[in-house]
C-alpha cells in the first residue's frame, strides 16, 4: 500500500505527482496489468524469455558503445 502525506505548503498537483511516482516505483500498475488476464506457466515463460532476449540485446548494444 502506497501512502503519501501532504507536506506543509504543498500543492495538490505536486502531491499527486509524488503519489504517481510512488505507485510506479512500487510496481502496482505493472502488477495489476499482469494479473488482469490468466496466463499459463508456459505463456509466462515465453514472455520472460522474450524479455530476456530484448534485455540481452540492449545490454550488448550498451557494451559495444564503450569498446569503440
**Residue 59: which pLDDT band, with cuts at 50, 70 and 90?**
very high
pLDDT digits (tens, 9 = 90+) for 18-30: 999 999 999 999 9
The SS3 of residue 27 is coil
Does the pLDDT at position 68 exceed 70? Answer: no
Alpha-carbon distance 49 to 68, whole Å? 29
User: How many residues comprise the chain?
Assistant: 68
Domain boundaries, the chain: 1-37, 39-68
Q: Whole-structure pTM over 0.75, yes or no? A: no
pLDDT digits (tens, 9 = 90+) for 23-58: 999 999 999 999 999 999 999 999 999 999 999 999
Amino acid at each position: 500500500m502506497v501512502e503519501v502525506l501532504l507536506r506543509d505548503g504543498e500543492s495538490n498537483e505536486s502531491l499527486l505527482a509524488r503519489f504517481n511516482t510512488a505507485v510506479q516505483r512500487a510496481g502496482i500498475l505493472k502488477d495489476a496489468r499482469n494479473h488482469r488476464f490468466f496466463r499459463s506457466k508456459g505463456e509466462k515463460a515465453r514472455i520472460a524469455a522474450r524479455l530476456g532476449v530484448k534485455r540481452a540485446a540492449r545490454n550488448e548494444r550498451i557494451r559495444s558503445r564503450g569498446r569503440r
